[in-house]
A and B are shown apart, each in its own frame.
Chain A
Amino acid sequence: MAQTLIALFIVALALCWVLVRLVRTFKGRDNGCNCGCGSRDCPHCPKK
């Protein structure tokens, strides 16, 4: 029983990780510009 609970907990953690990653990937950081340069007025950002 303990093994099952630990295993399910690990699986739940993995699913949460995926969820967070997906949100971060598609929402983007730095006001939608996530080219990695860290600049809010990045000239490469398509929203600019």
Chain B
Amino acid sequence: MHYTTKNPYFCKLKYYALMSQKENISQMSLRPLDNEPVGARVKVARVQGGGAFRQRLLEMGFVRGADITVIKNAPLLDPVEYMILGSHISLRRVEAARVMVVDADVELPETVGGLMYNGTTQTVLDEQDPMADNVLRVALVGNPNCGKTSLFNYVTGAREKVGNYGGVTVDSKEGSFVIDGQRIELVDLPGTYSLTEYSPEEMYVRTYLRDKHPDAILNIVDAGNMERNLYLTTQIMDMNIPMVIALNMWDEFEKSGDRLDIEAMSRLLGASIIPITARDGRGVDRVLQACYQAIEESEHKTTHKNVNYGPTVESAISQLETLRPDLNRYTLLKIIENDRHALELLDTADNGTQIKQQADQLREKIQREYNDDIVTIVSDLKYGFVRGALAEVLTTNSNKDKKQLGYALDVVLTNRWLGLPVLFLLMWVVFQSTFTLGAYPQQWIEDGVTWLGQWVDSVMPAGVLRDLLVDGIIAGVGGVLVFLPNILILFFFISLLEDSGYMARAAFIVDRIMHRIGLHGKSFIPYLIGFGCGVPAIMATRTLENRRDRIITILTVPFMSCSARLPAYLLLVSAFFAANQGLILMSLYLVGIVVAALTAILLSKTLLKHDHTQFVMELPPYRTPTARNAAIHMWSKGSQYLHKMGTVILVASIIVWALGYFPRHEGQTQQEQVENSYMGRMGKAIEPAVRPLGFNWQMGVSVLTGAAAKEIVVSTMGVLYTGETADEESASLKEKLQTVTDEQGNHVFNPIVAYAFMLFILLYFPCIAALTAIKREAGTRWMIFEIIYTTAVAWVVTFIFYQVARLLA
């Protein structure tokens, strides 16, 4: 049918009419989800459009007949939080408009899948002997945020980062454990809703399972959200790899009052099922034993249980199987689904074209029979299998508190009016605590460093080595070491926010802003990680599906002030802004965010033009953060910081000292000596470029050396500002900066210069490690662009600030 009208409203009505006719639903009842009011309960009729995002929605449970409750609008009215299959999902309105719904009480025609547990089929396996291999490998596979890394850390004793939001793990981590004298390698893979290649880290999982073929898969399933989680299980079942299912968060499931017949479910799915609580290790030993047993049994097993999709699809799979008996059912089904990556496997095959033609015919036959598109049919069949199985084994507690305790805090934290103020208040509390709580241990370390310097000075005879130790190593490394407590405190708070589930809410609250600046709401997570360190943040952009989104996020992440810049801020803020420490620090972070936003707008409208990107994110229930995770997080940050002290910062301090010490000239004061040194000459050469920003040559040099690592800005200042007299030498760097004067006797630093210097440190080019990560993830061209762009932005912003502030002062 063809419409000539240009009226979009008319077209829409006609389209709904057509769809209603097809679905056999009353025309008045069918409508898009985006206009539903808060509190509305509706039922999915179908998801419109095509492409990967539609498939993602189907896989997340937006299949016909699924109940949806509209929970709330974000504070800026977009996105909207929906509850589907017991999960809370954040969906932008523009995407929600693709989901067609009807009233909850409307009877929809039965789905293809329905409650179709048709039992399982069996695949005859080739002979294999996994035990012949010295190393047995078990892969951890599951939905995002279902507790894979928590289990991995518990079993292997590793300290990999975990958080109560999806996308924390972006590549594989390997560890091992020993059971019955056999070493088994455990591989932690990124979380994925399905084995469809929607984002790079999902592709990683699929490629890993296909190419590495682990000896067993440990499928982690969130016990509180089995229907959605088991969708992935159906795909794993078809891969013909021995599988054990761990039902995680079993403690929460038991508290909910729901009941599950584990033995029956185990029979239905053809795999061992063990309830566990990964956070405290309950049931973990049993699950490991089950994995080992599954591998041992696979040695003698001749068949593998698969999902039974009913006669039409099963016959199609069998026909393809005769042409390619080497491919597993998962891949064969993907070929029938017209999956690009599965079809690529046929390109090199002799009978590839024949198989593709056969698959096209089979697909058309299935679509004709079920009167729907293949993606919907397969999703329906898989959900039908899962629903059918759960209907037999799961008894839900009808008296359960519908409000869901894990989401009770959302009444305040994502409230329309309170959401944003609470976000800012939390940020302020974190930054202020970093100063106030950190002040005491910081003073102790500072006293210790000063004492050490004086002691070395007094016990060693005067000479070059003593100068290197006192003015180079102790002043340089000690100047940075004093901020260790502040770093630990900051990361303690970040860990609490991550583990509690608040980070995902923060993304929900600011998503509309992200959308406005042309970014994906998921970019918020790399940005948050960027407050810690740019390198993992750049890696975390792998969770973004669209390459342009990834590039924009990678290029803007360095504006999120990383913890390496913190020592410079802490030093200058405590020296020149004693009254408003928390606010000044927060203002710097906000400037970084604003510059990142403006850069993103600029890039998305010029070099990286693109349409809006789809965004669907799960909002996990709030959980009580554990002391163990907070301690692991703090320890990991602390040890990284100390490691840097002993390597990059130590080396940089030595080199900066040498450049500031040589060549020696007899009869010169300390000040003249430094000015005539190699470093001094270098500094004087770049001074014209930094003078308009209010910086002297020492500050210019500090900024340059900061390229190796941002902490070196402080250690360089510690080396360059050595002081003339014994009193000055023993003063802390903070006191030196407060008193240092230029040739005219004016103070070099004042609040305006200090803030300008912090602005420049915040915005100028990232350290070498971050630049390497950019080169790796985005390419050399974008790395060079980043160096030039960030430095230009830093110079212009600092220049404007300094000149305007000086005029107003």
Contact residues of A with B, CB < 8 Å? 2-4, 6-8, 10-11, 14-15, 17-18, 22, 25-26, 28, 34-39, 41-46
Contact of B203 among A6, A28, A35, A43 (CB under 8 A): A43
- Tell me which residues across on chain B come within 8 A of A36, comparing CB atoms: 171, 539
A38 contact set on B, CB distance < 8 A = 174
Least distance between A31 CB and chain B CB atoms (Å): 13
Which A residues are in CB contact (< 8 Å) with B200? 43-44
Q: How far apart are A46's CB and chain B's nearest CB, in angstroms?
A: 6
For A45, the chain B residues whose CB sits under 8 A away are 776
Q: How far is the CB of A4 from chain B (nearest CB, A)?
A: 4
**Which chain B residue has the least Cβ–Cβ distance from A25?**
B772
Whether, in the assembled complex, B779 has its beta carbon less than 8 Å from a beta carbon of chain A, the answer is yes
Tell me which residues from 32 to 59 in chain B have a Cβ below 8 Å from any Cβ of chain A. Answer: none
| Interface mask (B193-207 → A, CB under 8 Å = 1, otherwise 0) | 000000010011001
A15 touches B468 (CB 8 A): no
Query: Number of contacting residues on B, CB 8 A?
Result: 31
Task: State whether A10 and B204 are in contact (beta carbons under 8 Å apart), knowing that A3-B466, A4-B464, A35-B776 are contacts in the complex.
Answer: no
Contact A15 B655 (CB under 8 A): yes
| CB pair B464 A18 closer than 8 Å | no
Contact B463 A25 (CB under 8 A): no
Per-residue 0/1 for B631-651: is the Cβ within 8 Å of any A Cβ (1 yes, 0 no)?
A: 000000000000000010011
B residues whose Cβ falls under 8 Å from a Cβ of A: 171-172, 174, 200, 203-204, 207, 211, 461, 463-468, 539, 542, 647, 650-651, 654-655, 658, 708, 768-769, 772, 776-779
A17 CA to B539 CA in the complex, in Å? 26
Interface contact B542-A44, CB-CB below 8 Å:
yes
Asked whether, in the complex, the Cβ of B539 is within 8 Å of the Cβ of A35, the reply is yes
- Min Cβ gap A18→B in Å is 6
In the complex, are the beta carbons of B171 and A44 less than 8 A apart? Answer: yes
Chain A residues lying within 8 Å of B171, measured Cβ to Cβ, are: 35-37, 42, 44
From B203, B654, B768, B778, give the contact of A25 (CB < 8 A). B768
Of the candidates A3, A14, A22, the one whose C-beta lies within 8 Å of that of B655 is A14
Q: What are 9 of the A-B contact pairs (CB < 8 Å)?
A: A3-B463, A11-B654, A14-B650, A14-B655, A15-B655, A25-B768, A37-B172, A41-B211, A44-B204
| Distance A26 CA – B468 CA, assembled complex (angstroms) | 30
Q: Is B654 in contact with A44, judged by CB distance below 8 angstroms?
A: no
Taking a contact as CB atoms closer than 8 A, the residue among B468, B539, B542, B772 that contacts A10 in the complex is B468
Which one of A4, A17, A41 lies within 8 Å of B465 (CB-CB)?
A4
How long is the Cα–Cα vector from A36 to B173 in the complex, in angstroms? Answer: 10
Contacts A11-B655, A28-B776 supplied; 14 other A-B pairs, CB < 8 Å: A3-B463, A3-B464, A3-B465, A4-B465, A11-B468, A18-B651, A26-B772, A35-B776, A38-B174, A43-B204, A44-B171, A46-B776, A46-B778, A46-B779
Residues in B with CB closer than 8 Å to A42 are 171
Contact A7 B464 (CB under 8 A): yes
* Distance, CA A43 to CA B779, complexed state (A): 15
**Of A2, A10, A41, which contacts B654 at CB under 8 A?**
A10
Chain A nearest CB, measured from B653 CB (Å): 9
Shortest beta-carbon distance from B27 to chain A in Å: 46
Contacts of A37 in B (CB 8 A): 171-172
Q: Determine if A14 and B211 form an interchain contact, defined as CB atoms under 8 angstroms apart.
A: no
Are A7's CB and B203's CB within 8 A?
no
Check if B654 sits within 8 Å of A14, measured CB to CB: yes
Whether B658 pairs with A11 at a CB distance below 8 angstroms is: yes
CB distance from B534 to the nearest CB of A (A): 15
| B-side contacts of A17, CB under 8 Å | 647, 651
Question: CA A18 – CA B670 in complex, angstroms?
Answer: 28
Contacts of A18 on B, CB cut-off 8 Å? 651, 655, 708
A26 and B599 alpha carbons, distance in the complex (Å)? 27
Q: Which of B465, B539, B647 has a CB less than 8 Å from the CB of A7?
A: B465
Residues of B within 8 A of A25 (CB): 768-769, 772
Chain B residues, CB < 8 A from A35 = 171, 539, 776
Does A4 contact B172, Cβ atoms closer than 8 Å? no
Which chain A residue has the least Cβ–Cβ distance from B207?
A43
Query: If the complex has contacts A11-B658, A18-B655, A25-B772, are A46 and B465 also in contact, measured as CB distance less than 8 A?
Result: no
Looking at the assembled complex, report how far the CB atom of B779 sits from the nearest CB atom of chain A, in whole angstroms.
Answer: 6
Return B782 CB to nearest CB of chain A, in Å.
Answer: 11
A contact residues around B211 at 8 Å (CB): 41
Most buried by A among B174, B651, B708: B651
A42 to B658, CA, bound (A): 42
Q: How far is the CB of A20 from chain B (nearest CB, A)?
A: 11
Which among A26, A28, A35, A42 has the highest number of chain B CB atoms within 10 Å? A35
Determine how close the nearest CB of chain B comes to the CB of A23; give it in whole angstroms: 12
CB-defined contacts of B172 to chain A, threshold 8 Å: 37, 39
A8 to B657, CA, bound (A): 11
- Judge whether B772 and A44 touch: CB under 8 Å: no
Q: Tell me, rounded to whole Å, the shortest Cβ–Cβ distance linking B464 to chain A.
A: 4
Cβ–Cβ < 8 Å partners of A4 in chain B: 463-465
| Closest Cβ neighbor of B465 among chain A residues | A3
How far does the alpha carbon of A41 sit from the alpha carbon of B778 in the complex, in Å? 18
Q: Which residues of chain A have C-beta atoms less than 8 A from B776's C-beta?
A: 28, 34-35, 45-46
Task: With CB as the reference atom, state the residue of chain B lying closest to A16.
Answer: B651
Complexed CA–CA distance, A3 and B469 (Å): 11
Closest CB in chain B relative to A11 CB, distance in Å: 4
- Complex interface: chain B residues within 8 A of A28 (CB): 776
